[in-house]
Structure 1
Amino acid sequence: MRVAPKVAKDSQCNELKSARIQALLRTRSISSEAWAVYADSKERGNLDLGLAIAKKLAKRAVDRNRLKRAARELARKGSLGKFSELVVRLKQPVGRSTHGRLRNFEYQQLKAQLQGLIS
C-alpha cells in the first residue's frame, strides 16, 4: 500500500486560532443581509481567515463546506483588499424556499454579497 506524501498548501491564507476569532467577533462588523465580516487591518504578510457557518443556519454539511470553499477562494485570489485578519460569519439561514438546500442561484447571490463586503 502506497502512502501519498503530504503536499504543502500553496495558499497565502492561514486559519485563525479560536482565541483570536473570539477577539475579532467582539469588534465592529461590516455586514450585509446574509453575512457579517469582522476584520483587522494590521500590516502583515499573509491573510488569516476564520469562518463561522453554523449548522443551525446551513443544515447540510455539503452546503456549509461549499460556502467555506467560496470564502477561501475569495481569500486565495487576493480579493480581500487591505485586511490581514478576517472572520466571516453567516447570519441568515440558507435554502428556506428549497427545504434547507442551497441551490446554485442562492449560492451565487451569497458569494456576490460576500465579495461586495470584503473587496
Structure 2
Amino acid sequence: MTVPPLGHRFAVTGRPAGQETLDIGLAPVVVIALLASLAGWAMLALLERLLPRTAQRIWTITALAVLLISFAPLVAPGMDSATRLALAALHVAVAAVLIPAMTPATVRPAFTTFG
C-alpha cells in the first residue's frame, strides 16, 4: 500500500537477511481491520450476555490492551521508520473508530412518550 501524500509504500523485510520483501497492500489492511472488528463485536456480545454489569469496562480495557499488543510487531527489525509510523497510525485509526463505536452506551429508551 502506498501512502499517496508521502509517496511511501509499506514494505517489511523478514529475517534472515535477503528474504523477499513483503508489500502490505490495501486488501490485507481492510481484511485485518474487518476481522478485528468482528472479533471485537463477538466478544462484546458474549460479555453483554454473560456479564452485563461489567461488559463495557471489560471490553474497553481488553480493546485497549489489544491495541497496545498490536504495536509489538512494529518494533521488530525489517521496516523503516516511515513504515512503522504509518502502520502505527493505521492501528490507532482503526482503534479510534472501533472502540467508541462498539463501547456500549448507557441504555436509554429509544423514544419517550408523554402522557
TM-score calculated relative to the size of structure 2? 0.29
Question: Counting helix residues as a fraction of each chain, which structure ranks higher?
Answer: 2
Give 1 or 2: higher strand fraction. Answer: 1
Task: For CA contacts below 8 A with separation 6 or more, give which structure has more relative contact order.
Answer: 1
TM-score normalised to the size of structure 1? 0.28
